Amino acid sequence: MQIDYNHMPHAEESLPDVLMRIVTELHDVAYLIERIEPQLLAGEGAATDKMMVIQGIDLAVQKTRGLAEFIDTITAAIPDTWLVDISTAVNLVKLADMKRALASGMLRHGHSQPLTKASGDFEAF
* Residue 120 located in a structural domain: no
* Residue 124 located in a structural domain: no
| CB-side neighbour CA atoms (13 Å) of 87 | 9
* Residue 24 located in a structural domain: yes
* Residue 112 located in a structural domain: no
* Residue 89 located in a structural domain: yes
Distance CA(89)–CA(102), nearest Å, equals: 10
**Residue whose C-alpha is closest to residue 90's, from 104, 101, 103:** 103
* Residue 73 located in a structural domain: yes
Q: How large a percentage of the chain has pLDDT more than 70?
A: 73
* Residue 125 located in a structural domain: no
Please, what sign has the CA dihedral across residues 17, 21, 59, 94? negative
Name the domain count of the chain: 1
Q: Which domain holds residue 18?
A: 13-103
pLDDT tens-place string over residues 3-53: 444 545 557 899 999 999 999 999 999 998 888 877 777 766 677 877 888
